[in-house]
Amino acid sequence: MTISTELADRDPMAGLAPLEVLKAGMQILVGDRVWTVPADLAASFMPGDKLCPVERTGQVLVIRAEEQAAATEAVDRSERAFRELCLATDDQITGFFASFAERLDDDSVWQQVAEVNAKDVERAAVAGRSTTRLISDDRVRRSMIEGLHAWSHAPSRRGQTLETIDHDGWSVELLFAPLGIVGFVFEGRPNVVADATGVLRGGNAVVFRIGRDALQTAQTIMRLAVRPALIERGLPESAVTLIDRAEHGVGWALFRDRRLALAVARGSGPAVETLSSIASSAGVPVSAHGTGGAWIVIDATATKDDVCKAIERSLDRKVCNTVNVITVPRSGVDRYIPAILDGLGRAATARGESFKLHVTEGSESYVPAEWFERRVPIRRASGVATEPQAETLPMGHLGHEWEWEASPEVTLTVADPHEAVDLFNRYSPRFVASLLSADEATHRWFYDRIEAPFVGNSHTRWVDGQVALRRPELGLSNWQYGRLLGRGGILSGDSIFTIRTRARHRR
């Protein structure tokens, strides 16, 4: 068959046959690197499978045919649901959030969710994987309900006028409108199911994939709470779609689908890096929420009590806004290092654990030697390990995020505030920065110089959409790859919109 020049011009893929066979040793160009097909992949590759080069990381991933089919079918359903949502009323959407919350508040429903979640947690623990974000206890339940009530009371922006420009005999209106289908990939947090439904507030549909450890909990929440609430309020069931497969390839296939209006990735840094690159390569707008780790910078005017309290409060659990790096001015080491160790100790004791301290090379002389000699039990996802309580860390690893399980873990470096800001801007993921200082001029200078979307003057755990803005977040974005265009670092359901322009000629 001959492909016309006109068709080839319109479709750059026209005339290219699908890849059905891989041969060991074949070479594939990935950006400016060459990838060689390994023998085991060549042997397992089947017709319908797809290769997915990831230029940013140099990987070549394989999406199996059944994974691609699952993602495509889910977006098909979500696409139909979005068209129906465009005709739904704001009252229907408001009612959905209220009904969803009522079901989570029903003890008989939550007991079933909790039983399934306990099995998910047990399986993950046996496999040596982290369970801190997987556990859905009553605190998590209350937070989900609170977030859904916030959306049920939040005003809708759909159809609201942003601006009107009058002309002679006519006018132009700028109107908020739904954006479309939001693709959402996240790992071990079942409660994010509730967060993800926030996109409905603006009339958007959502299709998401969750990691294996949390899948059964998420399926139970969908079956007992989400779908019944959608049906009760007359909304399409596929307005919220969970892909019932946990393979990573499903998420990769989802993020390659150009029908997505936005791809939202949450999870570990490497996983989010891969997903972001896949979406970007496919031309899908992406909001990445991966590498975290907050910094606390201390200057010579801070009080020891403020230092101790800020560190203790910033280490109550491991999430992205947990303090990861603490900097101490040289003139204050004698005052502040005991306060830092006290805060670390209090945070660890509250969890019934010991803590782990990493000290950058060149700063170890400021920390008591016995901390490097003492060996303590450190609870990790794989179990309890006996380790030195303090260890040295190369300065080049200053931005490494400690993904601790139960034992608080931080890095300490001795640096005056000007040097600390330079270190943050160079090594950190440019996420959360807090300055402990009694001097207002220093705070103004710090805000102007630090490259972070979230800046505070106390603990770091305030960086949360539901806490700070009283709106459940879909995720937090840092400035790791530059400042964000036209949006803040907190992505919430009502911040996902487009703007339509309508002309009205007066007759």
Q: How does pLDDT run across 205-258, given as a tens digit for each residue?
A: 999 999 899 999 999 999 999 999 999 999 999 999 999 998 999 999 999 999
Residue 129's pLDDT is 86
Q: In CATH, what class is 67-290+490-502?
A: alpha beta
Q: 2 falls in which pLDDT band (50, 70, 90)? A: very low
Q: Give me the chain's average pLDDT, please.
A: 90
Per-residue pLDDT tens digits for 90-125 = 999 999 999 999 999 999 999 999 999 999 999 998
pLDDT tens sequence across 138-190: 999 999 999 999 899 888 889 999 999 999 999 999 999 999 999 999 877 88
Query: Residue 17 has what pLDDT?
Result: 65
Backbone angles phi, psi at 359, to 5 degrees: -120, 125
**Of the candidate ranges 2-11, 100-109, 386-395, the one whose mean pLDDT is the lowest:** 2-11
Residue-level pLDDT at 360: 97
Task: Give the per-residue pLDDT at 133.
Answer: 82
Whether residue 335 is predicted with pLDDT greater than 90 in this model: the reply is yes
Whole-angstrom distance, CA of residue 174 vs CA of residue 48? 44
Residue type, 31: G
CA distance linking residue 274 with residue 432, whole number of Å: 23
pLDDT at 15: 52
Of residues 70 and 130, more confidently modeled? 70
Residue 37: pLDDT over 50: yes
- Start-end of CATH 3.40.309.10 domains in the chain: 294-452
What is the pLDDT at residue 8? 40
Give the mean model confidence (pLDDT) for residues 317-321.
90
Long-range contacts of 90-96 (CB under 8 A, 24+ apart): 90/156, 90/158, 92/233, 92/234, 92/235, 93/156, 93/200, 93/201, 93/203, 93/233, 93/235, 94/152, 94/156, 95/152, 95/232, 95/233, 96/197, 96/200, 96/229, 96/230, 96/232, 96/233, 96/235
**Is the separation of the CB atoms in 362 and 333 below 8 Å?**
no
pLDDT bin (cut points 50, 70, 90) of residue 288 is confident
| pLDDT of 9 over the 80 cut | no
CATH entry, 294-452, from 3.40.30.10, 2.120.10.70, 3.40.309.10, 2.120.10.30: 3.40.309.10
Whether the pLDDT of residue 485 is over 60: the answer is yes
State the span(s) of the chain assigned CATH 3.40.605.10.
67-290+490-502
Q: How confident is the model at residue 352 (pLDDT cuts 50, 70, 90)?
A: very high
At residue 173, the pLDDT reads 96
